[in-house]
């Protein structure tokens, strides 16, 4: 299943995205703004592990590539939870540097947010942003998220303890019915 933006498509990852991942994901300016689960340097093996996991995914998909003109130039995804935590999920995204500043991430985030609220019957979506990442904070604001709280010493980033800014979007039970 694909989600269409004005000049990109959110579509499931494919094994043949390895080359574009190696071209675009291996970027210190991207890794500097993502948690340590995102590898740096980004190797062929990292691409293989990611894509082999993604092609096992079943619908409804939680992870999509951001595809511009047939090439995966970024990723966006949610991590859902089980049991009583299932009403909330985490969202994250990255975009290849040559495509920054065109409004792609803001539109992709808005589309993915609507998709996730509806598909997973969420009441809350949250994003963790490092304090130096003003561009991502702006993207979140533009997509309808609000700043919740600064979590002090919330995680290790490349070995250094850092604060995390928590952003969220909340919808009301009347708009979205939790999974039973
Ligand atoms: C953050 C990221 C996704 C933004 O993607 P993008 O497609 O360039 O974002 P958009 O063009 O939709 O919007 C960027 C907004 O941030 C603003 N911005 C960019 N750099 C900025 C900065 N240093 N300070 C403040 N605002 C900034 C832009 O002006 C724009 O806002 P505007 O439309 O009001 O002018 C991209 O830079 C990226 O992948 N970064 C590395 C990974 C990352 O940070 N992921 C998110 C982790 S929480």
What would the pLDDT profile of 100-111 be if each residue is shown by its tens digit? 999 999 999 999
**For residue 177, what pLDDT band results from cuts at 50, 70 and 90?**
low
Q: What is the pLDDT of residues 126-159, one digit of tens each?
A: 999 999 999 999 999 999 999 999 999 999 999 9
3-state secondary structure 123-170: CEEEEEECCCCHHHHHHHHHCCCEEEEEEEEEEEECCEEEEEEEEEEE
How confident is residue 168, by pLDDT bands cut at 50, 70 and 90? very high
* Nearest atom in ligand 1 to 29's CA: 41
Buried b (16+ CB within 10 A) or exposed e, 1-32: eebebeebbbbbbeeebbebbeebbbbeebbe
Share of the chain above pLDDT 90, in %: 94
Report whether residue 10 contacts ligand 1, using a CB cutoff of 6 Å: no
Establish whether residue 93 lines the binding site of ligand 1, counting it when its CB lies within 6 angstroms of any ligand atom: yes
* pLDDT band per the 50, 70, 90 thresholds, residue 179: low
Mean pLDDT, the chain, whole residue set: 96
**Domains of the chain with bracketed CATH:** 3-170 (3.40.630.30)
Average pLDDT over residues 13-41: 98
Q: Which two tokens stand for residue 67?
A: 């595809």
> Hey, which of 39, 40, 128, 138 would you mutate to test ligand 1's pocket, going by the most ligand atoms within 8 Å of its Cβ?
138
Our mutation pick for probing the ligand 1 site, out of 101, 131, 148, 162, counting the most ligand atoms within 8 A of Cβ, is 101
Strand order in the sheet with 124-129: 3-4, 9-11, 63-68, 71-79, 88-95, 124-129, 160-170, 146-157
Q: What is the pLDDT of residue 36?
A: 97
Q: Is the pLDDT of residue 173 over 70?
A: yes
> For position 1, what pLDDT does the model report?
87
Q: Whose CA is nearest to atom 32 of ligand 1?
A: 138
Rounded distance, CA 173 to CA 13, Å?
Answer: 31
Rounded Cα–Cα distance for residues 63 and 41 (Å): 21
Count of beta carbons in the 10 Å neighbourhood of residue 151: 13
For residues 17, 18, 23, 28, the Cα torsion angle rounded to the nearest 10 degrees is 110
Does the structure show a pLDDT above 90 at 161? yes
71 lines ligand 1 (CB under 6 A): no
Distance 100 CA to ligand 1 centre (A): 7
């Amino acid at each position: 299943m694909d989600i269409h933006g004005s000049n990109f498509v959110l579509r499931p990852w494919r094994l043949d995205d390895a080359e574009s991942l190696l071209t675009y994901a291996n970027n210190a300016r991207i890794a500097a703004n993502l948690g340590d689960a995102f590898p740096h340097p980004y190797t062929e093996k990292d691409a293989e592990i990611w894509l082999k996991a993604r092609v096992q995914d079943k619908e409804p998909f939680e992870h999509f590539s951001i595809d511009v003109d047939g090439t995966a130039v970024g990723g966006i995804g949610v991590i859902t939870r089980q049991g009583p935590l299932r009403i909330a999920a985490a969202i994250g995204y990255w975009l290849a540097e040559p495509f920054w500043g065109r409004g792609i991430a803001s539109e992709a985030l808005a589309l993915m947010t609507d998709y996730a609220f509806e598909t997973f019957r969420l009441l809350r979506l949250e994003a963790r942003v490092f304090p130096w990442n003003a561009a991502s904070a702006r993207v979140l604001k533009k997509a309808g998220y609000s700043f919740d709280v600064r979590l002090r010493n919330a995680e290790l980033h490349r070995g250094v303890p850092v604060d995390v800014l928590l952003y969220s979007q909340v919808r009301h039970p009347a708009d979205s019915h939790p999974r039973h």
